[in-house]
Structure formats: structure tokens, C-alpha cells
Amino acid sequence: MVDSVPAALPSRPDPPVNEHRSSPIVQEVSTPITRFGNPPTTKPTDTTELEDKPYYPRVKEALTKVFRLQSFRTLQLEVICDVMEGLDVFVLFPTGSGKSLTFQLPAVCQDGMTIVVSPLKSLILDQHRALRALGVDVEMLLGEMADSQRKEVWRRLGSGHVPKILYLTPERLEMDGMRSLLQRLQSSGSLARFVIDEAHLITDWGRSFRDAYVQLNTLRTAYPGVPISALTATASPEVQGDITTRLHLKIHAPWKLSANRPNLDYDVRPKTKNVLSEIADFIKNNHPRETGIIYCSSRDKCEEVAKVLRDKFQLSAKHYHAGMADQDKAQVQEEWSSGRIRIIVATIAFGMGIDKPDVRYVIHHSLPNSLNGYYQETGRGGRDGKPAQCILYYSTGDFYNRLRMIRGNPPSQMRDAEEDDIRRVMGYVTNDVQCRRAQVLAFFHEDFDPVHCRQMCNNCRDNTPCVTEDHTADAQKALRLFESLSRRPRARLTPPQFIAALKGSKAQMQVERGWTNDPLHGSCSHLSNDVLARLIDQMLWHNFLSIEQVRGSKDGYCQNYLTVSLSAAQPAFAQLMPTCPSLGPKRMRCGEASSSCCRSVLAGRVEPRVCGRQTAADQYRTL
């Protein structure tokens, strides 16, 4: 069983107030140009101007006295001033950068109530508890609350003595009575603002039919004049546009910081059958006493991995997934947060709202579902600003499993988008040339100069020279041969049989089936098996070919057969250029593919070109 949508999590324990409140991440985010080179997307203003604002003394006092923080992080004050002036704001800051303060602090300083719409019970419980610990007048409305508690909150809301902040899920906002109550509060001037936390879900869960998030598009018309804040760590320009339109935000542009997390080290490794002992060695050698997260794609896998780490490698690991009882989840999360267990092996149900500062590694035992998810999941690491390692293990098998799962659903736009997501992930993991950080950031349409990666990814650390070889013509011949062979009787081809046909094999079955008579049989005999296997993989990941699984009637085992998805004759083919740069101990001359070819990317949207030697950064553009 797989956890696809983050399910409600139990709360985590009270954060102490607060040993990481002036954590080094402040430095990192606030000095991006000098220390990390990558400038924030919105230029910080000269804050002396903002310090002249009439409300500044109140704001500054709240920062130190209520929130017990010493200074603002980059752009926090700018956003807070907009909020104090009753403007809509769209805050696009990376994970762990301190978005919450941009609405919590003004809420404390302003008259009226700020309503915070948040997707997960765990996020709500957590922020509610942390704010109460700071002495802020905050309430929440959750389905799971005791009747008496809920009634008390309703009574407060009805009496006009409203709290400064009210947290609820989007579904609560839709419930009977809530709209009329809020309209009454609005007419009495008691409604200060709506805040939509994790606003990317308006688009994402719109796709997965979380209707209540989509319904937020009526806030502006139902409560005209009430300002809105939208907050997220991840939104492509399209998603930003979608959020702005759906919420009818009146903004000039989002407040944006670079999504770069400079203290995260990105590493991608092929997954072998020894993956668990590799993981155990990595933990024992590098982080024997530190905390980490291991993400798996299914509930069963989480349980299995945690058990092996415990029983075989004597590591302190427990599993966590949405199939567990609330109480068990709460207990595991508490044990991990407090450091009694060091490793949590989880599905993506464990993610949003996890604010443990000292997570030193995040390992993906299976492929993440999307690059967006990968960014969010790795974003749980290093929230204290200190280095954290992110290792992703990938295998073609995991890709097919995910694809099969997606295709198990009826055709829909969402299914297509999910398929697109996993293909992009494969594009990322197999691009072992371009800076990983640059690839991740490019997904968010952010240009990143790999120089500023400071060798904090496995591609930047790898100095092996490489060349690009243009195999478009070979790929086209291969597809034409495949189309031709698959029109014949008994024409099912497995990938090894197809490679053999491309190499011109005279094996008995190739001859018997008449494949050797095809004029294109053997047309790629000049390529090594490795290069051909990679070419076929590229065509699979980019949907020129697909895999059909057939269960054998005798042994019950599944066999993978290739099928055609996109014909070589289609114009889309020319837009994708499978390339296969090869590795060698010395610089390779163009066209010299070594049989140990093991670095390859598919440079999409790049015009086919003659091969030539260039730097990795010149050669590759983002998919």
C-alpha cells in the first residue's frame, strides 16, 4: 500500500522555546550573495526605510518580546510591513526559512482575527501549541476536537472576543455556519486577514480533487476587502500564476527568496541489491549518533527497511506511515523528535510540518514521486542551517513500479501529470553530468550557477571528463526497426532481444522469427550493449517506448515486453535528442563511445547538434 497524499499526522511535541530560534539558517538565508552566491529573487529593501513606519516599534517589540527572536531574516520585515498595511501578499520562501512569522507577527500586532487555513492537522496542532507557549491568543477548529472544546471556540467567535489567530482546515471553512459567522465578523471589522498556508496545494490537490482547497477561490468574493496571504515553498511560475488567479490576489509580484538550500548536499546513486547495507554503512560511518529520515515508496517497504536496519544492522530505526493508528504514529514521531530513536523510515505521509532542526540526512530508498516532492522531502534536512546530506537511490524497477501504479488509475489529466512528474525524476537521476542543485532549482525555473554549489552535489564533485554523442539517428533507426519487428507474427520483444536485434545477432530465435531479414536488423552494431541499453532506457523514460508486463501462464513470473508509444515518424521525436556522453580515464575524442559508458542525459528541447567537447554546464540544459 502506498501513501499518495500526505495524510493527517499526529502532532509533534512542544518545541522548546527555543534552542534553535536564532539558528544559523538566519545567516544563510540573509547573506545569500556573500556566502552562497545565489541572490534572492526579490531584492531586499533598505530596512531603514521600513523602520520609519509608524507601526515599526510595535512590530519590533513583538519580535523580541512575544516571539523571542533577535532579528528578522531576509524579507521577513518587508512582507510584515505589507501585511501591516492591509495588502495581499504571496510569500515564496524556501523550506525552513520562516514564512510563518510573516503572518503570525502582524496578527499579534493588529486588531481583529487572522484566519489561517492549513492542510494538515499536524501542522495546525504544532503551530497552535508553539504559539500558546509564546502566550499568543490562538484557537483552532479541528474535526477531532472534543465537543466541549469545539463549542467553546464557537462561543468565543460568536461573542465577538475573537482570538488573534484561528487555525482551521479548508474543509472547516466550508462548513455550515462558518461563512455566516465570518461575514458577521467581517461587518464588525473583526476579520483581519486570511492566510493560506502551503498554497501550492490549491493547484496540486486541485489535481487530486481536494475540493476544499480549490474552493478557496471564493474567499475574495465572499469576504471582499479582507486581505489574503498565500504562503508556499514550492511553486513554479505557472503554479504562482494559478494561485494568484484562483485567490484573486491583488499583488504586483510574489515576495520571493531563492529556493536554494545551500547547506544540503545532493547525491544520487544507482540502487543495487546491497542498498540496505550501503545505507547502514553510510549511517554508521557518517552519522552514528545523529538523526535522519529514510523515505520509501510504500508502507510495506517502510516496515521492511526499518526492521532490517534494526535487526541486521543494530540501528535505532522505526517505521512511520499513514496506515498506522494515530496513537502509534504520534508515539514514533515523538520518539524520533526527542532523539530516543534516530532513524524514521517513512512514506511521504511524514513530511510537511516536520520542523526538527537537526536532521542530518534524508535518504530516498525509492524514487520520489516528483521533483517538487523531492525538494519538500529533502527540505526536512538541515533546518538548523548546518550541513545535511540527501542521498537518492534510484532503479529502473522503481520507475516501472511507479508508472504501473499511476497507470492503474483511469486516464485523467492528473494521471498524465503524475506520469510527467516521474519522468522528470528519471531525467534528474540519470543526468549525472549537470549540477544537481542547478537541476533541482531549474525545476522551479531558477537559474543557478553551478559554481555556487561549492561541490555540494555528486555531479559537481565528479571531475571525470565526458563528451556528448548525438545518437538521434541511432534512436530513430532503433524505433523504426522496433516498429517493423513488432508488426510480425510472434513479435513480442524483451529489451535484451531488441538490443540483440540492433546489434545484428544471428541467434536462433532471431533467425527463426525472420528478424534477421529486416534491413534495419544490425543497424546499430557499431554501438556497445551499454550504449544501446541506455538508449532504450531514454526512450522508455521519455515515452517513445513503453513496457508491457505479461505474467507467464506456466511459472507465474512477469516478463517485460517493449511496446511502441510514440512513433519515430512523429515530429515530437526530433525535439528530443538522446545523448550518451561517455566516461573515460582521459578525455575522449568525439564519437569514441567507451563500453563503460555510464554518464548519460537526455537533453530535451535542445536542437540536435554535432557532437563536440564542451563543459558539462554548456552541454546540458534542463529538461
Ligand X SMILES: Nc1ncnc2c1ncn2[C@@H]1O[C@H](COP(=O)(O)OP(=O)(O)OP(=O)(O)O)[C@@H](O)[C@H]1O
Which residues sit at the interface with ligand X, rule CB under 6 A? 20-23, 26, 69, 72-73, 76, 93, 95-101, 233, 355, 379
Q: Which is nearer to ligand X, 95 or 505 (CB)?
A: 95
Asked if residues 350 and 332 have their Cβ atoms less than 8 Å apart, the reply is: no
307: enclosing H helix or E strand: helix 299-311
Contacts of 555 (CB under 8 A, 6+ apart): none
User: Residue 19 or 512: which CB sits closer to ligand X?
Assistant: 19
Q: With 0-12 CB in 10 A as exposed, 13-18 as middle and 19+ as buried, what is 108?
A: buried
**Across 259-349, where does the E strand assignment appear?**
264-270, 291-295, 317-320, 343-346
Which candidate, 126, 298, 118, 142, places its Cα nearest to that of 210? Answer: 118
Report the nearest approach of ligand X to the CB of residue 348 (Å). 14
- Nearest residue to ligand X by CB is 98
Three cell numbers, residue 352: 510537511
Rg (the chain; Cα; Å): 27
Residue (73 or 521) nearer to ligand X, CB: 73
Are residues 349 and 9 in contact, defined by beta-carbon separation less than 8 angstroms?
Answer: yes
The distance of closest approach from Cβ of residue 36 to ligand X in the complex, given in angstroms and rounded to an integer, is 17
Question: How would you classify the pairing of strands 602-604 and 576-578?
Answer: antiparallel
Strands 576-578 and 317-320: unpaired
458 cis-preceded (ω within 30 degrees of 0) = no
CB-based contacts of 165, cutoff 8 Å, min separation 6: 104, 107, 108, 113, 114, 115, 116, 131, 136, 137, 138, 139
Least distance (Å) from ligand X to the CB of residue 526? 50
Rounded Cα–Cα distance for residues 552 and 562 (Å): 16
Nearer to ligand X, 32 or 495 (CB): 32
- Across 160-187, b (16+ Cβ under 10 Å) vs e yields eebbbbbbbbbebbeeeebeeebeebbe
- How far is the C-alpha of 579 from the C-alpha of 471, rounded, in Å? 6
> Any alpha helices (H) in 177-290, and if so which ranges?
178-187, 201-207, 211-214, 219-222, 237-247, 275-286
Q: What is the rounded CA–CA span in Å between residue 194 and residue 217?
A: 12
